[in-house]
């Protein structure tokens, strides 16, 4: 790590206030280009502590940078992660105000719910599959508290992996015979197709994302709990979100998930 405890705390506080006030801040890596992923996670842990002290709770985790193009953009060979907070979860069909965010974009992805705990190291794809109880279609609203999305790896990690909110369809029991690498998806905005994708875009296999998360978090003493949601990563490039938009992601087998964007 390249930062002191005081620097870590002050940066977490800056992000906490940016979230509360919906006012973006300058990238931390502008002032200190030497910041690395480990520094970002230290800031993230401080920020999460502040949010939990306000009464929020962690109901799962999201993985980001699960596609090769995104990893190349951020000059990393691994995904990143952040918590999913209870206050950010919405049901399909929800009306979400654009004003709740700073610079929101929308991504479609496959979401799992665990039926039993997972703790790394040593979690395999097969072990992860056996721990999953439900699957659902999901939309993630990604948002950056860093101005103009000028983020490097440490910035987005610190900022809860740029998570804003998630919208989920009704869950389905996991079919252990179905290969979710082949789950196709069509994404529309206001009726127009803006993206397509398949489960294989998420680290080659969305179930592999669950194993990766369990092993990565396990190194920090964190267990994925029964009931935790796992956001496995975008299947396409994020699409900007504006007041009045209606987003629908239609998935093979999983059905549709819908988000309406309000103006206030």
Residue 211 to residue 42: CA distance in whole angstroms: 22
Residue 166 to residue 144: CA distance in whole angstroms: 14
130 within domain boundaries: yes
pTM: 0.94
158 within domain boundaries: yes
What CATH number is attached to the domain comprising 161?
A: 3.90.850.10
211 within domain boundaries: yes
DSSP structural state of residue 202? T
Overall domain count for the chain? 1
- Domain range for residue 233? 57-262
Mean per-residue pLDDT for 166-172? 98
Question: Hey, what are 250's tokens?
Answer: 């239609």
pLDDT value at position 67?
73
Residue 230 to residue 135: CA distance in whole angstroms: 9
pLDDT value at position 65?
80
Task: Output the 3-class SS for 18-39.
Answer: HHHHCCCECCHHHHCCCCCHHH
22 within domain boundaries: no
Mean per-residue pLDDT for 53-76? 83
Q: Over pLDDT 90: what percentage of the chain?
A: 89
Mean per-residue pLDDT for 114-126? 96
Q: Cβ atoms within 10 A of the Cβ of 109, count?
A: 28
* Direct distance between the N- and C-terminal alpha carbons of the chain, in angstroms, rounded to an integer: 40
- Mean pLDDT across the chain, nearest whole number? 94
170 within domain boundaries: yes
27 within domain boundaries: no
Residue 141 to residue 105: CA distance in whole angstroms: 6
29 within domain boundaries: no
pLDDT value at position 263?
82
Q: Is the pLDDT of residue 71 over 80?
A: no
156 within domain boundaries: yes
């Amino acid at each position: 790590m390249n930062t002191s405890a005081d620097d870590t705390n002050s940066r977490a506080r800056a992000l906490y206030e940016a979230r509360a006030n919906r006012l973006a801040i300058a990238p931390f890596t502008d002032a200190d280009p030497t910041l690395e992923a480990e520094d970002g996670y230290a800031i993230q842990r401080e920020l999460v502590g502040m949010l939990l002290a306000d009464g929020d709770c962690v109901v799962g985790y999201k993985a980001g940078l699960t596609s090769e193009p995104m990893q190349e953009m951020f000059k990393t060979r691994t995904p990143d992660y952040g918590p999913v907070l209870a206050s950010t979860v919405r049901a399909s069909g929800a009306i979400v105000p654009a004003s709740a965010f700073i610079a929101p974009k929308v991504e479609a992805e496959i979401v799992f719910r665990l039926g039993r705990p997972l703790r790394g190291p040593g979690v395999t794809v097969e072990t992860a599959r056996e721990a999953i109880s439900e699957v659902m279609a999901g939309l993630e609203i990604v948002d950056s508290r860093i101005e103009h999305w000028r983020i490097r790896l440490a910035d987005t990690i610190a900022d809860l992996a740029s998570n804003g909110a998630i919208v989920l369809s009704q869950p389905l029991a996991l079919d252990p015979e179905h290969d979710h690498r082949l789950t196709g998806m069509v994404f529309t905005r206001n009726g127009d197709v803006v993206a397509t994708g398949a489960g294989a875009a998420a680290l080659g296999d969305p179930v592999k994302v669950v194993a990766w998360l369990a092993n990565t978090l396990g190194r920090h003493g964190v267990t994925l709990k029964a009931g935790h949601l796992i956001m496995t990563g975008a299947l396409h490039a994020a699409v900007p979100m504006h007041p009045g938009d209606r987003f629908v992601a239609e998935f093979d087998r999983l059905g549709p998930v819908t988000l309406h964007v309000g103006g206030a």
